[in-house]
Amino acid sequence: MTEPSLTQGRLCEGRVCVVTGAGRGIGREYAILLAAHGAHVVVNDLGGDRTGTGPDPLAQDRGPAQQVVDEITAAGGAAVANTDDISSWDGAKALVDQARQVFGGLDVVVNNAGILRDRMLVNMSEEEWDSVIRVHLKGTFAVARHAAAHWRDRVKAGESNDARIINTTSVSGLYGNMGQANYGAAKAGIAGLTIIAARELARYGVTVNAIAPGALTRMTEDLPIPDDVKAALDPRWVAPVCVWLASTLSSDVTEQIIEVSGTNFAIAEGWHRGPTGTPVSEPAEVDAAIRKLLADARPHTNFAETTNQTKRT
């Protein structure tokens, strides 16, 4: 576990954080760096492979969540493992309840769990669509919803919160990537959920932001990544943003989507109203009116341009 710089201090001292999908890849980096900065971490991971259909071949006997907990505690940090299925209503609630029972509260939820079932639209099965939407979009909603209910109840009881929801979206959802209709739709949905939840939960002292990470993990292990690019797409470049968002330093930042990798650091601005014209009343007039607006509109952001044609997160 990497220790924070003494000049920077520990940004999350005593804060209770839940991280889903934290047994491998980016989630593991989140959990370890949060713990290094003083957070008490509930490390959630179901223990499946990247498709969600079988056991993680690297899990051995302890399971990936417990392996990360062992690493954190060996370095002097505080963590417990959780293997609930966050895509189920009861599993998500059990995760939130465990944080409260073990560590006495909840300050931060990091929704990071996900699976891949990539397929071109014409070949995608119903199960491939449903499973990806369930884990990414429903899983993010379910954990956020149970955490939000806890924070709302605290406010109703006269207490205050300085709480965080940190979601995980993707440039695949923001800008589009062929072969990922299910994944991109889920990640676009998470971006929309982030904005709406931020507006709804501000009254309870909760900020809601999302990270669009670029990193090499088991989710991207089969991509033909050049060796000189791999270092820039190490998950360690993403984790510092998560720690900052989880800290009290970010209390004035909400409703934002942050793109981050070793090659990219940006704020995604989302949909904006572009060129406008006068409404038309006849179908025959629509063609000329629309084409004028299209000529004045800026082109869509190209997925390859945002990713250097290397990352798919």
Q: What is the CATH number of the domain that holds 88?
A: 3.40.50.720
Radius of gyration of the chain (CA): 20
Is 83 exposed, middle or buried (CB count within 10 Å of its CB: 0-12, 13-18, 19+)? middle
Nearest residue to 168 (alpha-carbon basis) of 143, 203, 200, 199 = 143
In a domain, 113, yes or no: yes
**Residues of the domain holding 228:** 16-272+300-307
Could you give the CA distance from residue 108 to residue 162 in angstroms, rounded to a whole number? 9
Residue type, 65: A
In a domain, 246, yes or no: yes
Could you give the CA distance from residue 207 to residue 202 in angstroms, rounded to a whole number? 6
In a domain, 193, yes or no: yes
Reported as type and span, the H/E element at residue 244 is: helix 239-246
Chain centroid to CA 209: 9
In a domain, 287, yes or no: no
Residue-level pLDDT at 309:
38
In a domain, 138, yes or no: yes
In a domain, 97, yes or no: yes
Reported as type and span, the H/E element at residue 93 is: helix 89-103
The DSSP letter of residue 122 is G
Q: What is the pTM of this model?
A: 0.89
How many folded domains does the chain comprise?
Answer: 1
Tokens, residue 173: 């959802």
Residue 19's beta-bridge partner residues? 43, 110
In a domain, 150, yes or no: yes
Residue-level pLDDT at 166:
98
- Which residues belong to the active site? 170, 183, 187
Give the rounded percent of residues in the chain with a pLDDT score beyond 70: 84
In a domain, 134, yes or no: yes
The tens-digit pLDDT sequence of the chain (313 residues) is 455 543 458 999 999 999 999 999 999 999 999 999 999 999 999 987 655 555 555 544 569 999 999 999 999 999 999 999 999 999 999 999 999 999 999 999 999 999 999 999 999 999 999 999 999 999 999 999 999 999 999 999 999 999 999 999 999 999 999 999 999 999 999 999 999 999 999 999 999 999 999 866 555 555 556 666 666 778 888 999 999 999 999 999 999 999 998 888 999 998 889 999 999 999 999 999 999 999 999 988 876 666 553 333 4
